[in-house]
Structure 1
Amino acid sequence: MNSLPLSPFQLFPSLVVELVVDYVASSSGRSVKESKNDDTHRLPLIPLLWVCRNFRDIVYSRFCTVYELDLSSSPVKAGWSSWPTRLRKMARPAYRLASVVVLRLDQWSMFSGEARELLSNNQYSRGSIPNARLLTLEFVSGRTHTASYLGDTEIIANIIRFAEHLWQMAPAITEVKLPGRDFSGRVRKIDTRHFINLALKLYQYEHVATPLRNPFNFIEAGISDLVTLDCNLDSSLSRRYSVDNDSYAYFLQLTRQNASTLRSLIVNVGSVKNVSSLVRDAGGNYAEYPSLHTLKLCGPRIECDIYNMSRDRPLLPPVDIAKLPVFPDATPFPRLLQLHISISYPFGDDTLFRGNAARLKYLDIQIYPATVDILRKYALFTPASHPHLQLVYIDHMANFQVSPFASPKERMQFLLSIGPHAPVRKIYDIYSKPQFKKIVSLFADHTCIQTLSLPGTCMEFKHIIILVKSLPLLKELCTNAPCFDSIPTCVALPTAPAVVVAMYAPVGARLRRWHFGGKGKYDEIAKCVLLLALVCPNLDDIDASIFSDGEFVRKLQNVYYTQGFESHAARLKKLAFKF
């Protein structure tokens, strides 16, 4: 049987078809982008749908990208957000062009199973929307009481069935957004179980009429390898997602039951002694977490005001490491990639670091005297011990007055010894210009650093130059606001830019971003910013977002026009400021 001859329009090149569509869309004087917000100006495109498939595909591709499904009422309302309302049914064959699915529903319809039934009854089945990459869930206020009779097990089963149906309908989804909530998910490859995790978090943490009777039930749903087990072991801590001390035994039981699959574990403790139960139970049995990638040991944060601390202020007693538990035969966390410790080190030996030196990439540690004692005693961070460590974040000492260090220089030597080859370092421990003068030379031995954050550090311009010279690979720097306390007299003259360039340039060939905060004199800060840009040839990103009142911008302009910077306009116009 002979096929029908092609329409002559189907022989048009794609570019010609696009030009025709653009011309028709703009025939009323509106651009295609403008016409998307007005049904009337889309109507001239409708006849093109019947010309041939090429024209139809181009028209659909302009207006059939966001497909909306409203499950908050029955029957289901559906359509294209950019398509003429009265003609939405006409675009149904273009499901394959949708790149975004917006799902609007009452959250309890998901928990009760009604949402899945609505999708099934409206023939949204396997592969209905095959190319969508983004799923946006918009929850509307609805019947918070309708699912109050359901138990945890039934609700979790309904969430799982709903997620499975969604992924059959739109199998290419890679991103899920829950507008207005901070647990939206974006991963390289999101699948049914990732979505289930998001939905369970919504169910567990949202202010709903019937919260989870047992906050650990979602672990028992068989998806613990994708769930973060987050528990408070101290009921006095003010935290939204808390678990009473009465649940501690059950928490430990669940942790051990899922030890082989857990990937992330967050534990808030009021005392370091509680941590040891994660490693060994009362019967002396050891636990191992072979899949655990992230471990966070948190506690009540101790704020430390270095400037105003009174010597009469009561301090926490130092921890005696001789009384801490030791587990010489245990290797509980062999595959850790991220370790966060914001409490004093909880063991009397190297239990936390045993077996994971070759894998650890991220270390976030708050320095306590007991922590220092353990790190020194076991020489945990020798130059070659952690070859893959990328980021080291070191928070300030909580018990500053009982610091084991006699001087800021000794303290910084120790802080720099932790992960000496890590390219990204953040140290929140040095607070004054006199301190920094004594330690700036120490950075010369850490030339591998690419990102350095010293957010509490007050620095003079010349010390910034010394620091940048010491770190040839430095790409990003974060400091407190700079000052010019001891800048040479000649720099105060109108020829300052030329003088500074002659004295220092070029340095920091790789430095591209500088973020600073804190307080200071605007004219000094502005001059320092412009001079550093002249000295560092590739510095083009200045984050001064702490100054949002406009005064700094005015001062920056004044310094530029009155201090001799206009002759360097070609260089300075490349600067991008963030306010």
Structure 2
Amino acid sequence: MQFLSPLQRLPLHVVQLTVDHVTGSSRLVFDGIHINSQEYRALLKPLLEVCSNFRSVACPRYYSSFELNVSKRSLDYLSQRYSQIPLAGVNYRTLNYPGYCMPRLAKDVTVFLAEQAVYSGEALEIVSCAPYNGCAFPLARVLTFVFVDGVEGRMDNDIGTDSIRAKATIDGFVGRIQQMAPLANKIRVKLAFHNDASSVTSRHFDYLVSRLYQLSCCIGYGFGLEDDDPVQLHLGMISNLSQIAYTSESETGSIGQFVQLARMSASTLQSLNLQCEHGIDVLGLVQDSDGNCITFPHLLSLKLHAAFHSNNPARPVFHGAAPFPVLRKLHADLECPFGDDTFFRGNAATLEHLYLQLDTVSATMLCRHKVFVLGSHPRLQSVRIWYTDNFGLGLFALSADAMQFLYSIGSGAAVREYARYGPLQDQVPMFSLLDGYACIQVLSLPSLRPNLWYVILLLKSLPLLSDLHTSLPSIGPVPVDIAFDTLPGYAISNYEPASKRLRCWHLDKGHIPNLQELATCVLLLALVCPSFDYAVPPASQRQLFMREMETSISSDPYKPYAPRLRRLLFNGWKG
């Protein structure tokens, strides 16, 4: 008869939840590339020793991603970029557990390489020799190729004289990768040229990338660029992508080439992310050379960010055309990128997540077009609005209708997450601000310094709210004239329960002017909200705040409630 320990008797889903809880959010994500960090592996490793039950869950996660370095240049890049994060492919290691082999468990494989290493044959030689010659990734579904360097001009000229040799070298490398990961069905290509790298791609680069995409049985999965300097790209053959991402801190980057790349993949593109420090030619994104509208029939996610104004004037673009008919997620971090409601045409029934930075002009324009009216976007789940008073005109620049528009975006829908940034939120009572948002679970008003009693009444109108983000609150004025030491009893008798769902209260960064007042606000809220677990003060003040909380809980007004309040001390350090 086999005897099992109590841990071995645990159901699998309980073990999975336990591993999730222990590791938390320690796994890194670098521009969509998942990296098992040293911290993540360190948290997983003790779980491997618990029992076979835990090992069956933790081992695949420990080995879920794998990194290959197929050129000296890419190894130099990694040592600079991730000096504190040892990567799994750099030090080829195993844990010596029978049945668990690192490459064979990997589902996401990242290949770091230099373009020149492919043409010279160095990359093929590396993946054909130990330790990679016997390496196979039978479970890998996602392959990410990160190019850390372009080519030197002389090398490009040498290769250019022999296109047959260049293509043969490329084919050999791609063929070897296909042998290693035969079932990969998502291919991503990312350019991450660092400062001293050559930022010119070879004339054969588009052939190389197109061959990499052919590793997949479907369309190319993604193409991205992160650069600090202008990059000269040869992208003529690249099309039919489903994801495109561009991030640049340069004021003279390659955004124009990526706008063109997006247009070439308009029929297949599902996600487009363009972020740069200069104006984005948004009009060129949706308008062809003849002035006709370009439609993106499958685009689900669109993110546009520019540090400065778009170079498009505020003018109407198209009349009636709908370039993004099935959009689900819109993140526009630039004021008035179109002169009209182009973003929102045809997708009212599909839009789920909205993040908009609006100025006076764009808020007035969208109000005029009646983009958001009660119940117009039934699937909207999260709304984040940032109003930028970039002309310094204040509230007087907005009409009453435009102000009402700003406060009604998403009302009537089942919005679960709502955030508002900017100067307006201090001017309008919270009750009118959130009228029509009864389904909110997460509310962020980081610039608002609320009165505690307003917060309590607000909770009664938002029965599903679990997370609240505001600035530091104030205690007064108290609704009635009572002694300070009778506040706990008054709050319980008049307001409990204010909310049965609220768990945490996040307080804005900054210096706490009055620790005792803040502790009082948190304790009173905890008394009228039975599910309240913790408050998150500014990090620099956390230790002082927790000491003040402990002192307040031990004081006479709160002693009768100390057993239910002490959990705030324990949970407060976790928050």
Decide: shared fold, TM above 0.5.
Answer: yes
In structure 2, runs of 5+ residues without a counterpart are 9-41, 43-48, 72-88, 161-165, 214-218, 231-245
- The equivalent of 1:397 in structure 2 is 388
Which residue, out of 213, 218, 227, partners 2:222?
A: 227
Residues 1:228 and 1:338: Cα distance change in structure 2 (over 3 Å): farther
Give yes or no for contact 1:230–1:266 (8 Å, CA) kept in 2: no
Give yes or no for contact 1:446–1:471 (8 Å, CA) kept in 2: yes
Please list, as runs of the form range in 1=range in 2, the aligned pairs for 1:117-132 lying within 5 A after superposition: 117-118=128-129, 122-125=133-136, 127=138
- The equivalent of 2:466 in structure 1 is 475
Matched, 1:572 2:565: yes
- The equivalent of 2:419 in structure 1 is 426
Residues 1:558 and 1:290: Cα distance change in structure 2 (over 3 Å): same
Q: Following TM superposition, by how much is the alpha carbon of 1:256 offset from its aligned partner in structure 2, in angstroms?
A: 2.0
**1:519-564 CA distance string (max 9 Å, x none):** 4311111111111011111111422253445211111111111252
Q: In structure 2, give the amino acid aligned to 1:281.
A: D
Give yes or no for contact 2:67–2:110 (8 Å, CA) kept in 1: yes
Matched, 1:300 2:307: yes
TM-score (norm 2): 0.66
TM-score (norm 1): 0.66
User: Is the deviation greater in 353-362 or in 261-270?
Assistant: 261-270
CA distance in 2, matches of 1:274, 1:72: 36
CA distance in 1, matches of 2:286, 2:58: 57
- Tell me the number of residue pairs that the alignment of Structure 1 and Structure 2 aligns: 472
Matched, 1:342 2:336: no
Matched, 1:354 2:365: no
Matched, 1:554 2:547: yes
- The equivalent of 1:114 in structure 2 is 125
Q: In structure 2, give the amino acid aligned to 1:286.
A: C
Percent of pairs with identical residues: 30
Q: In structure 1, give the amino acid aligned to 2:351.
A: L
Please list, as runs of the form range in 1=range in 2, the aligned pairs for 1:320-331 lying within 5 A after superposition: 321=314, 324-331=315-322
Which residue, out of 8, 13, 30, partners 2:2?
A: 13
In structure 1, runs of 5+ residues without a counterpart are 1-11, 20-36, 38-44, 46-56, 84-90, 172-190, 303-315
Which residue, out of 266, 269, 276, partners 2:283?
A: 276
Give yes or no for contact 1:526–1:559 (8 Å, CA) kept in 2: yes
User: Is the deviation greater in 526-535 or in 63-72?
Assistant: 63-72
CA distance in 2, matches of 1:423, 1:553: 30
Q: Following TM superposition, by how much is the alpha carbon of 1:455 offset from its aligned partner in structure 2, in angstroms?
A: 0.5
Q: Following TM superposition, by how much is the alpha carbon of 1:113 offset from its aligned partner in structure 2, in angstroms?
A: 2.6
Instruction: State the SS of the aligned residue for 1:496.
Output: helix
Which residue, out of 431, 451, 455, partners 1:440?
A: 431
Residues 1:384 and 1:136: Cα distance change in structure 2 (over 3 Å): closer
Q: Following TM superposition, by how much is the alpha carbon of 1:480 offset from its aligned partner in structure 2, in angstroms?
A: 0.4
Matched, 1:213 2:206: no
**1:317-344 CA distance string (max 9 Å, x none):** 9x985xx133114221112111122222
Which residue, out of 540, 547, 560, partners 2:533?
A: 540
Residues 1:210 and 1:463: Cα distance change in structure 2 (over 3 Å): same
CA distance in 1, matches of 2:196, 2:278: 32
CA distance in 2, matches of 1:331, 1:476: 36
Larger Rg: 1
Residues 1:160 and 1:548: Cα distance change in structure 2 (over 3 Å): farther
User: Is the deviation greater in 338-347 or in 114-123?
Assistant: 114-123
- The equivalent of 2:273 in structure 1 is 266
CA distance in 1, matches of 2:401, 2:448: 16
Q: In structure 2, give the amino acid aligned to 1:569.
A: A
Matched, 1:363 2:382: no
CA distance in 2, matches of 1:81, 1:299: 44
User: Is the deviation greater in 210-219 or in 508-517?
Assistant: 210-219
**1:494-539 CA distance string (max 9 Å, x none):** 3321222112211112222211114431111111111101111111
Give yes or no for contact 1:360–1:389 (8 Å, CA) kept in 2: yes
What is the Cα-based RMSD across aligned positions, in Å?
A: 5.1
User: Is the deviation greater in 100-109 or in 548-557?
Assistant: 100-109
CA distance in 1, matches of 2:260, 2:144: 36
Residues 1:79 and 1:341: Cα distance change in structure 2 (over 3 Å): closer
Q: In structure 1, give the amino acid aligned to 2:474.
A: C
Residues 1:279 and 1:93: Cα distance change in structure 2 (over 3 Å): closer
Matched, 1:255 2:245: no
Give yes or no for contact 2:247–2:274 (8 Å, CA) kept in 1: no
- The equivalent of 2:192 in structure 1 is 204
